[in-house]
Chain A
Amino acid sequence: QSVLTQPPSASGTPGQRVTISCSGSSSNIGGNPVNWYQQLPGTAPKLLIYSNNQRPSGVPDRFSGSKSGTSASLAISGLQSEDEADYYCAAWDDSLNGPVFGGGTKLTVL
């Protein structure tokens, strides 16, 4: 059972916009920045969004993040086939004194 809650799956057609939610509590998302990771099949995770809404160099601006209260979301616009991957949200948890992750959302591009 993951500390952060994500939907197990999401889907969309090429060109569509999809959003993935992430719900937590005051000890994690409510008080700390949220980060998002993309994991392509058989590879290590890759940082996609940090500090709620910042993109590392090289990440397309089709990817955006937001946070409100104890929830966060990742939006992907102009969906492409190469976006098919697992997406994880993460945040530091002050009670556990460590980072916590969502269970992951498998994105399928139809």
Chain B
Amino acid sequence: QVQLVQSGAEVKKPGASVKVSCKASGYTFTTYYIHWVRQAPGQGLEWMGIINPSGGSTTYAQSFQGRVTMTRDTSTSTVYMELSSLRSEDTAVYYCARTYSSSSAVDSWGQGTLVTVSS
């Protein structure tokens, strides 16, 4: 069955960077896009960007431009999201999510990774 398994919770200091992984299984890795969506405590869902695992092309939400980098490793079917210059407002659960095309509905989500930014 389709699974997106994310790395574990992280605690970071302001100004640091965090790299979250998302390992895909149960389908052909390069045939689905991967989005990253975050959810601050008690808040709604916020789209961060998308990566095409086939060629590695990315599109980032404007609010994260310059701070986020999404990469993939096709040998391990893993996608990575790195967020730099962390601030307290970046404390959130980060989800990876799969779509068949860039604009289609998300049909599978990772379990989420809690990133806490605190001094």
Contacts and interface: CB of A to CB of B under 8 A. Distances in A.
Do the two chains bind?
yes
Contacts of B32: none
B35 interface: yes
A34 to B, nearest CB: 9
Given A2-B44, A44-B95, A104-B45, A99 B112 contact: no
Interface residues of B, number: 20
B33 to A, nearest CB: 11
Interface string A36-49: 01000000111100
A47 B106 contact: yes
Contact of A98 (B50, B105, B111, B112): B50
B46 interface: yes
Contact of B107 (A2, A56, A99, A102): A56
B45 A44 contact: no
Contacts of A104: 44-45
Interface in B19-59: 35, 44-47, 49-50, 59
A45 B105 contact: no
Contacts of A56: 107
B19 to A, nearest CB: 20
Contact of A46 (B50, B103, B109): B109
Interface of B: 35, 44-47, 49-50, 59, 61-62, 95, 103-107, 109-112
16 contacts: A32-B103, A35-B106, A44-B95, A44-B110, A45-B95, A45-B109, A47-B106, A47-B107, A50-B104, A56-B107, A90-B45, A90-B105, A98-B50, A98-B59, A103-B44, A104-B45
